Amino acid sequence: MAPVSKAERKALMDAGAWIFNVVTSVGIIMVNKALMATHGYSFATTLTGLHFATTTLMTVVMRLMGYVQPSHLPLPELIKFVIFANLSIVGMNVSLMWNSVGFYQIAKLCIIPVLCLFEVVFDNFRYSRGTKLSIMVVLLGVGVCTVSDVSVNTRGLAAAAVAVWSTALQQYYVHYLQKKYSLGSFNLLGHTAPAQMASLLVLGPFVDYWLTGKKVYSFDYSPIVIFFIVLSCIIAIGTNLSQFICIGRFTAVSFQVLGHMKTILVLILGFIFFGKEGLNLQVALGMLLAVVGMIWYGNASSKPGGKERLSHPEKSPEDGRV
């Protein structure tokens, strides 16, 4: 049997990282949908804090076992990352509450153009015509199959803007911090997860009360609810880790573009497990268009000149320093 080449090994590891992220992301969405829609647990911010608690526990265990080596992340960088990440979580929840589902989906699609802007301005990336067109096809396809009613108001627009920019900054910063400080996925999670856990578990109940009018401590925690919460937290370990792995191996733009495959899978699984009333020709065509765009993007961006850095600045999106 011929030895596996370095390029083949990288391709296998890349594919494994994507599959890991898709499986865990789709899994946690389906579990959370069952937890919230079926059992009425609507405390999304607090639940995210619990996700980071289990992720923190995982990083501590891995460090004690010697799989994670000591590393350094400056406190100002950690604070900025936590602000971006927590604003993303709260902003998305508030955007969904204050906007129609259609406008919420449009706002989520705007993350890709913002990330492209960051890569052009701060990393000096340039995209070929084919890569740009493939991104537009993905956005169009996902928009066709997810956007229905669209209404907008001032406060909803503000919430969506905060959600989009903070999410883009958080995902850009994952790649930026890993490259600048030579941090592996486990190392970066080891720094950020405890800070997010602490902040979200403290602020989460207040944010959830503001969003839902319900107190997290007054909820009836039946055995089945506790089971789904624990299952969600276990899957979240893989979701958080795989996000850092994928963005570290690729870029935030590629993570977002190809990550819309998760949107398609969630729609398909939703039709299978939660009813087929939303499945129609428009949705099916949108899914097909999105998949074609993803395949096109993968091919176009991997070609010479498809997506390339003209120089190698390592600038922060905050201060513009090299």
Higher pLDDT, 231 or 6: 231
Q: Judge whether residue 146 has pLDDT over 80.
A: no
Torsion (CA) 183, 238, 201, 82 in degrees, nearest 10:
30
Q: What is the pLDDT of residues 286-297, one digit of tens each?
A: 888 888 888 888
Q: Judge whether residue 145 has pLDDT over 60.
A: yes
Residue 321 pLDDT: 41
Residue 107 pLDDT: 83
Q: Judge whether residue 319 has pLDDT over 70.
A: no
Q: What is the pLDDT of residues 194-236, one digit of tens each?
A: 999 999 999 999 999 998 899 999 999 999 999 999 999 999 9
Q: What is the pLDDT of residues 51-89, one digit of tens each?
A: 999 999 999 998 888 887 888 999 999 999 999 999 999
Phi, psi for 5 (deg, rounded to 5):
-75, 165
Residue 110 pLDDT: 87
Q: What is the pLDDT of residues 29-53, one digit of tens each?
A: 889 888 988 888 989 999 999 999 9
- CA gap 249, 17 in Å, rounded: 9
Which stretches of 99-213 are DSSP H helices? 101-109, 111-122, 129-146, 154-180, 185-212
Task: Give 44's contacts (C-beta < 8 A, 6+ positions apart).
Answer: 32, 36, 89, 93, 208, 211
Higher pLDDT, 106 or 140: 140
What letter does residue 217 receive in the DSSP assignment? G
Percent of the chain with pLDDT over 90: 34
List residues bridging with 307 in a β-sheet: 127
Alpha carbon 145 to chain centroid, angstroms: 19
DSSP track, 264-280:
HHHHHHHHHHH-STT--
Task: Give 159's contacts (C-beta < 8 A, 6+ positions apart).
Answer: 91, 94, 95, 97, 98, 99
Residue 237 pLDDT: 94
Q: Judge whether residue 2 has pLDDT over 60.
A: no
